[in-house]
Amino acid sequence: MSIRRKRSVAVFGVLFLVSAGGVLWGIQHESRVNAAPPANESAKQSTVEKKDAINKDAKKKPALAEFMRQKMDASQDIMEGLLMEDAKLINAAAKKLKDMSETEHWRVSNDILYRNHSEDFRRSVDKLIDASKGNSIDRAALSWFDVTLSCIDCHRYVRTVLVAEND
């Protein structure tokens, strides 16, 4: 096996592990976010507040869960495109992620740091789109790594700062 081929296999392996870790983290985080509040907190709420919160959450969760699933599907398509060296699949899925990042569901906060994370994500996706147009699978793989890191950084920020502030 040539050195270039070994390097490509190693890069794809790392990308796969990072993506798989992101998927598992996302599933675990989603289940924690959707879990019921601790008993002592729910006891403090009035019955009307509880019903309003339940109705609001019930409406938001399916839409958010579906949106997150679409993000994961696009991510998996990018990974498949990298593994199969299919630049068209990478390009289409990256464009889908870019379009999704510009929708209302994406904006979970108007916080300036959150907006910066979103802009970093879009810049990384743009690099991925450019790499896929040039049929450069190695460049696309490195760009995908940047996209993945921007996702991890943003989700960490949302989890540790924004969710903590709302609690």
- Residue ranges per structural domain of the chain: 16-31+47-166
What digits encode the pLDDT tens for the residues 83-106? 999 999 999 999 999 999 888 767
Sorting pLDDT into bands at 50, 70 and 90, what band is 111? confident
What digits encode the pLDDT tens for the residues 7-55? 665 565 555 555 555 544 555 545 454 444 444 444 445 555 545 554 5
CATH number listed for the domain at residues 16-31+47-166: 1.20.120.10
Task: Report the number of secondary-structure helices (H) and strands (E) in the chain.
Answer: 7, 0
Please give the DSSP secondary-structure letter assigned to residue 155: H
